[in-house]
A = this chain, B = another copy of it.
């Protein structure tokens, strides 16, 4: 009848849906390096901390209230809360909470936040099916690989068209991971990925609203249901991803098929996952990092005359707000970020409280920060000079901000971030035990201990 705008590419498409389904259903458990295994635990822990930390947020309250209209069965845990809901609603809500602070993991190549859709779906499903920790880690690695490989195939065009790529690839990762957890064979896994392929979630216009964190949550639920449908014999196209009117060519003007199976089963996309140390946009990170280093070098913020920053032009374009009045505005102020680094040495969600944004000494320091554009700076670098009242100067140069692939957060820093997120909800001792349970998850015979520790006692 009519032709797809990209129908020429159809002829060259390999059997993407089958390749990914075979991979997910057949790859050996823990068939990867110790580094990948470790990264899986880091990814899970970082995601869990974000979900626990935001578990009392308005977006979570609202989504929970809506879910309770369905009188859900108490099948699965909502992280950080005592409420229990059906596993579909738990996937949705944990996916929402984990992305609410914009503090979850990032696959920088594609700007996908992969844990939200994948971990939210399998933790809820695994709780109900009594999965082992090993099975969760396996499903997490494989599900993330599926989402990010499809992301690599379509990025950047897909993102530029308007899709929030986390939700519009995440449902595939969730479907793949849930299929793995349900031990579906390759054929049914293919059907599950295919069912999910009809349900991409998220347009970028939603950024700044609760519907942004809805995207990973919705993707988690869609993928979980797709796997359950496939388990019960529901069918989809075996070429749902790659066909001319399949997902990829419908939502992207770029389809680089080589990304799907290049080094498949050898390199894992989770190795490219990164974690934010600071609860704000990525372009402020070098500045906060540098100012925290100034503090560590002995600079007392009360002795500072002024701070001079040299930054990439994009930094001022995105975060040039000079006089933020709220925490949310603070996230878009490089000046406020510099003050946080110097005063607190960190910038967790707590440092973005409205009260701190308006604190007199914070405002005073913020106003002493000057940011100058230098087109020669890279986006993840900064030069920061503190000029002290006594005339001394202290300088820090950051080539790659902490949290980048080149300079990843240490395990200790991840634990500290987790503590900041979780302690207000679960208390110090329980959070410490939960951190241990995260590191040991791959060896846990079931999820009971982890889940119990994830809810207020």
Nearest-Cβ distance from residue A119 to partner chain B, whole angstroms: 19
Q: Give the segment of A25-33, A57-65, A264-272, A447-455 that binds chain B.
A: A57-65
Interfacial residues of chain A within 223-242, with CB under 8 A of chain B in the complex:
225, 228-229, 231-237, 239-240
Q: Scoring A residues 309 to 353 as 1 if CB is less than 8 Å from chain B, else 0, what string do you get? A: 000000000000000000000000000000000000000000000
A86-B72, A87-B70 known; A206-B211 Cβ under 8 A? no
Interfacial residues of chain A within 17-41, with CB under 8 A of chain B in the complex:
none
Copies in the complex: 2
Instruction: Give the residues in chain B near A210, CB-CB below 8 Å.
Output: 234-236
Please report the C-alpha to C-alpha distance between residue A446 and residue B247 in the assembled complex, in whole angstroms.
41
Q: Give the segment of A191-199, A300-308, A382-390, A410-418 that binds chain B.
A: A191-199
Are B2 and A156 touching (Cβ within 8 A)?
yes
Interfacial residues of chain A within 58-80, with CB under 8 A of chain B in the complex:
58-59, 61-63, 65-66, 69-73, 75
Are A233 and B70 touching (Cβ within 8 A)?
no
Q: Scoring A residues 203 to 223 as 1 if CB is less than 8 Å from chain B, else 0, what string do you get? A: 111101111001100100000
Are A160 and B5 touching (Cβ within 8 A)?
yes
Are A246 and B162 touching (Cβ within 8 A)?
yes
Please report the C-alpha to C-alpha distance between residue A198 and residue B65 in the assembled complex, in whole angstroms.
20
Are A237 and B250 touching (Cβ within 8 A)?
no
Nearest-Cβ distance from residue A277 to partner chain B, whole angstroms: 22
Instruction: Give the residues in chain B near A202, CB-CB below 8 Å.
Output: 198
Instruction: Give the residues in chain B near A12, CB-CB below 8 Å.
Output: none
A202-B198, A205-B244 known; A211-B232 Cβ under 8 A? no
Please report the C-alpha to C-alpha distance between residue A239 and residue B211 in the assembled complex, in whole angstroms.
12
Q: Scoring A residues 109 to 151 as 1 if CB is less than 8 Å from chain B, else 0, what string do you get? A: 0000000000000000000000000000000000000000000
Quick one: which of B88, B206, B215 contacts A240, CB cutoff 8 A?
B206
A4 within 8 A of B: yes
Categorize the interface residue count of chain A. Answer: 35 or more
Quick one: which of B75, B197, B205, B247 contacts A246, CB cutoff 8 A?
B205
Quick one: which of B70, B159, B194, B199 contacts A201, CB cutoff 8 A?
B199
A3 within 8 A of B: yes
Q: Scoring A residues 151 to 178 as 1 if CB is less than 8 Å from chain B, else 0, what string do you get? A: 0000010011111100100000000000
Are B2 and A245 touching (Cβ within 8 A)?
no
A interface residues (Cβ-Cβ under 8 A, vs B)? 2-5, 58-59, 61-63, 65-66, 69-73, 75, 86-88, 156, 159-164, 167, 194-195, 197-206, 208-211, 214-215, 218, 225, 228-229, 231-237, 239-240, 243-247, 249-251, 253
Q: Can you offer 16 A-B residue contacts whose CB atoms are under 8 A? A: A2-B156, A2-B160, A3-B160, A4-B160, A4-B162, A63-B229, A63-B234, A66-B232, A72-B86, A163-B250, A199-B218, A203-B245, A204-B250, A206-B237, A209-B236, A211-B234
Which 5 pairs across A and B sit closest by C-beta, in order of nearness? A162-B250, A71-B73, A162-B245, A65-B232, A211-B236
19 extra A-B contacts, CB within 8 A, seeds A205-B239, A205-B243: A4-B160, A4-B161, A5-B161, A5-B253, A61-B233, A62-B233, A63-B232, A65-B232, A66-B231, A162-B245, A197-B203, A198-B201, A198-B202, A199-B199, A205-B244, A205-B247, A206-B236, A210-B235, A211-B235
